[in-house]
Structures are given as structure tokens and as C-alpha cells.
Chains A and B, each alone.
Chain A
């Protein structure tokens, strides 16, 4: 199993550009989520999904869109990048939304200039 994979590892965007951060898992997990981590801080939940076709907002959803058309993939779209979105983004998955451990990807480091 590859676990949770994220692409790209690094990205630089100009203000106003859009892009999609990719996340995939090969563990047949129902629950997937996106977090952002600012320097010296803990992770904050952006969006999550409890299964294909079902998504919902977390703590900091503004400026981001998600969709979940398959169990495996959970892309995160930045609609119009802003410097405040400079952060490290982590995708995670778990067997279900119940009490199961989460597996995190290696992260995408995004810089918006």
C-alpha cells in the first residue's frame, strides 16, 4: 500500500491564480480530510468527507473547494490564491468517521506571492 499520497510536494502561486492539490489513498478509507498548518501552529481542518459524494466544511473552509467523486481521491481546489493561504497542506484518511486512527500524507508546501 502506498497509503496517502499528495501531489505536488511544493508549489508557488501568484495571487489570484487557482490550482488543485491532489490527494489519493489506496486503503479503501471512507473518511478523508484536508488540513492546513501555518508555521509554529497546529493543524486546522479545512474540509472533510465521510464518503464518496459527501463533503462538509471544517474550521477554515473559506477560499477552498472540495469534491469526492471516488473513494480514493479527494482534491482540494484553491479558487483564487491569496498570500494568507501560504501554508503546508496535509490530507488524511481513516477507515470511517468513527473512532479510527487517521493516516496523514507527506504534505504540500504552498507559497502564494
Chain B
């Protein structure tokens, strides 16, 4: 079973910020929160990850709730190339067989 819950789809206008939510109410203390995205007909691509603190990189920001039961991926200015399926995943460091349980993700559409 996927340990995370995400909306099936979201829509955004080009050049506007996008907030993609993820709930992970059963997260354990050793689970890192990872985000990947998958463009059509491609393999998944790493976006960002974190444990407790908010994280920023050149692609996005990750905001993690204080109780770690939810997180939000923030794309600061959506472009057409950001249209993809976004996966929120928990990476268990104490159970490698349960690593990277992918749910169906959120399909992001970006409108010009």
C-alpha cells in the first residue's frame, strides 16, 4: 500500500506558482520525504527530498509540516515543461524492501 495520499490531478497556469500537496500521516521517524516527477514516456526524475526542515533547490521547494504528516512541493513559476506526474514518496532507511512505494501521483497540467 502506498504510504502517501495525493490529489489525482491539478491544473496551473503558466508562470504561476504551483503547490502540490501530499499527506503521509503514518510517516515514521526514519522516513525521508522524496518527490519525483515523470514526464510522458520517460523514467521518473528526482525533484527534491527532505527530512524535517524545508528544502530548496534549483527545481523546487519542499515545505514539510511540523508534525511531518504532510508536505507540499512548490514550483515557483510553472512552465509547460513542468507538466508531468508528480510522486510523493517515503524512503524508509530501515526497510529497503519498502523503499520508494509509488502511488498513482498527481498529474499536473500547465495551461499556456
Contact = CB atoms under 8 A, between A and B. Distances in A.
A103 B32 contact: no
Interface string B99-112: 11111110000000
Contacts of B29: none
B55 interface: no
Interface of B is mostly: loop
A57 B97 contact: yes
Contacts of B104: 40-42
A46 to B, nearest CB: 11
B68 interface: no
A56 B96 contact: yes
A81 interface: no
Given A48-B96, A48-B97, A104 B102 contact: no
Which range holds the interface residue count of chain B?
20 to 34
Given A45-B97, A45-B99, A101 B44 contact: no
Interface residues of A, number: 28
Nearest to B47: A101
Contacts of B41: 107
B46 A50 contact: no
